[in-house]
Amino acid sequence: MLDDLLAFLHEWWTANPVSWNSEFFSLPPVHADLRPVQAGGPPIWIGGVSEAAMRRVGRSATGWLGVDFLAAEVIDPLWSLARQAAQEAGRDPDALKKAIRINIEPGTSVDSLADKLKRFADSGADEAFVDAYALFPSLDQMLDFAGQVIARTGRL
Judge if the upstream peptide bond of residue 17 is cis by omega within 30 degrees of 0: yes
What CA–CA distance (Å, rounded) separates 113 from 80?
A: 27
- Both 21 and 56 in one domain: the answer is no
pTM score, two decimals? 0.78
For residues 10-37, average pLDDT: 88
For residues 116-127, average pLDDT: 87
- Both 83 and 121 in one domain: the answer is yes
**Side chain identity at 149, as an amino acid letter?**
V
- Both 34 and 108 in one domain: the answer is no
- Both 118 and 81 in one domain: the answer is yes
How many structural domains are present in the chain? 2
Is residue 75 very low, low, confident or very high in pLDDT (cuts 50, 70, 90)?
A: confident
Please determine, for residue 70, whether its predicted confidence score (pLDDT) is greater than 80.
no
Q: Which domain holds residue 5?
A: 1-42
- Both 106 and 52 in one domain: the answer is yes
3-state class (DSSP) for residue 45: strand
Please determine, for residue 156, whether its predicted confidence score (pLDDT) is greater than 70.
no
